[in-house]
Amino acid sequence: MLYELKEVTRVHGRRTILDIPSLAVPAGKIYSLIGPNGAGKTTLLHLLAFLDAPSTGRISFRSSPVRYSERSLLPLRRQVVLLDQYPILFTGAVWKNLDFGLKVRKIERKKRKILIEEALAQVGMEDFFHAQAQTLSGGETKRVALARALVVRPRVLLCDEPTANVDAENLGVILDILERANRENGISVIFATHSHSQARRMSRHSLIMKDGRLSDLPRDNVFMATVVGQAENRVVCSLQNDIRIRVPVSGAFAGARNIRLFLNPDHLHFTREPGTCRGPANLLPGTVAIIAAENDRIRLTVDIGLSVHLFLSLPEYSRISPAVGERAFVLIDDKAITIE
């Protein structure tokens, strides 16, 4: 196993910003780390890069417990590279940025030049060998930073929002580089992102974070939809079994006919009363199919013609007392809907 975390927390002052009871990440995979700002993604990446230590708990790397002394951490840090959301390049030529990591690893000069040329070619920046780093665009800077990470041949590449603030062309190039590094070089990749579509393109394994915790809910509430019309200021979308959902016009892709809808389980509501639906929210009839305890809340699966998952707090569950087989409604308001 590449990483194993047990009862890991990270506390700043009186605030617990990360709380992970258990996590195992196998080697050789691409994992996406999904969550909003403040979810704890960067904190987790810093722990996995051995740049920070947990407040409590244990982290193992390649089946060996991590010991937090400089002498023990140095060989681990040479196997894992973190690409920051806003990477900083050294002033001077591009090649010197790649040379630094090789030099501290005592790679001889002739070999260093070959490795630098190969890494720049890998990210499509071979013509920028002698370019000044401070003249690069944001996307070019990200690609050089990726080359700087790849040139040292890491076992693990951790990326914090690798496509943030880059244009569409460089976005596609960066995702291709990460996929190729995993496929051709066997590098394990864990990347943080806000984009569910990037997560699905890049990985079959997703870690979903909220408030410093990992969600156990898989991305089941993702549905392909076809835009079939408009009603006032809403776009009408047809899901499987001709289930219709109305979404804001401003949220739809301009001119798109086929889209993906993600219905956030934290913003879906269970109700028995159709009169609770006010304004433009969607109210879909269904049958309670599964009720299951999950951490400190209750997960409901409701069959509305397809399975939709939502959460109830324990007090809410006690008050509502839903039953398997019961007919009810799923209330879907705008903030529950993400269009991809």
- What digits encode the pLDDT tens for the residues 172-202? 889 999 999 999 999 999 999 877 667 767 7
Is the pLDDT at 251 greater than 50? The verdict is no
Q: For residue 254, what pLDDT is reported?
A: 52
Measured CA distances, 224 to 250, 251, 293 (Å): 19, 16, 28
Three-class SS of residue 319?
A: helix
Mean pLDDT of 200-215: 78
Q: For residue 146, what pLDDT is reported?
A: 96
Q: What is the CA radius of gyration of the chain?
A: 23
Between 166 and 217, whose confidence is greater?
166
For tokens 């997703």, what's the residue? 206
Is the pLDDT at 215 greater than 50? The verdict is yes
Q: How many CA atoms lie within 13 A of 338 on its CB side?
A: 15
Location of each CATH 3.40.50.300 domain in the chain: 3-215
Q: For residue 295, what pLDDT is reported?
A: 61
Three-class SS of residue 302?
A: strand
Is the pLDDT at 140 greater than 80? The verdict is yes
Q: Are 32 and 208 in contact (CB under 8 A)?
A: no
Q: Are 301 and 220 in contact (CB under 8 A)?
A: no
The count of other CB atoms within 10 Å of the CB of residue 19 is: 18
Report for 30-44, 267-281, 293-307: range of highest mean pLDDT = 30-44
pLDDT band at 128 (very low <50, low <70, confident <90, very high): very high
**Nearest in space to 162 (alpha carbons), one of 101, 96, 87:** 87
Q: For residue 240, what pLDDT is reported?
A: 84
pLDDT tens across 29-81, in order? 999 898 878 889 999 999 999 999 999 999 999 999 999 999 999 999 999 99
For tokens 């579509």, what's the residue? 197
Locate 193 and state its tokens. 């992102």
Mean pLDDT of 133-157: 95
The count of other CB atoms within 10 Å of the CB of residue 173 is: 20
Is the pLDDT at 206 greater than 50? The verdict is yes
Determine what percent of the chain is predicted with pLDDT higher than 90.
59
Q: Which CATH superfamily is domain 222-339 in?
A: Nucleic acid-binding proteins (2.40.50.140)
Is the pLDDT at 124 greater than 60? The verdict is yes
In one-letter notation, the amino acid at residue 166 is V
Is the pLDDT at 107 greater than 70? The verdict is yes
pLDDT band at 252 (very low <50, low <70, confident <90, very high): very low
131 conformational bin, left if phi > 0, alpha if psi -120 to 50, beta if neither: beta
Q: Are 236 and 228 in contact (CB under 8 A)?
A: yes
Is the pLDDT at 12 greater than 70? The verdict is yes
Q: Are 331 and 280 in contact (CB under 8 A)?
A: no
Location of each CATH 2.40.50.140 domain in the chain: 222-339
Burial category of 85 from C-beta neighbours within 10 Å (exposed 0-12, middle 13-18, buried 19 and up): middle
Mean pLDDT of 79-90: 94
**Nearest in space to 291 (alpha carbons), one of 271, 273, 312, 264:** 312
Could you tell me how many residues make up the chain?
340
Q: Are 222 and 260 in contact (CB under 8 A)?
A: yes
**Nearest in space to 19 (alpha carbons), one of 54, 63, 51:** 54
Q: For residue 242, what pLDDT is reported?
A: 87
Q: For residue 55, what pLDDT is reported?
A: 97
Question: Which CATH class, in words, describes the domain spanning 3-215?
Answer: alpha beta
Mean pLDDT of 145-168: 92
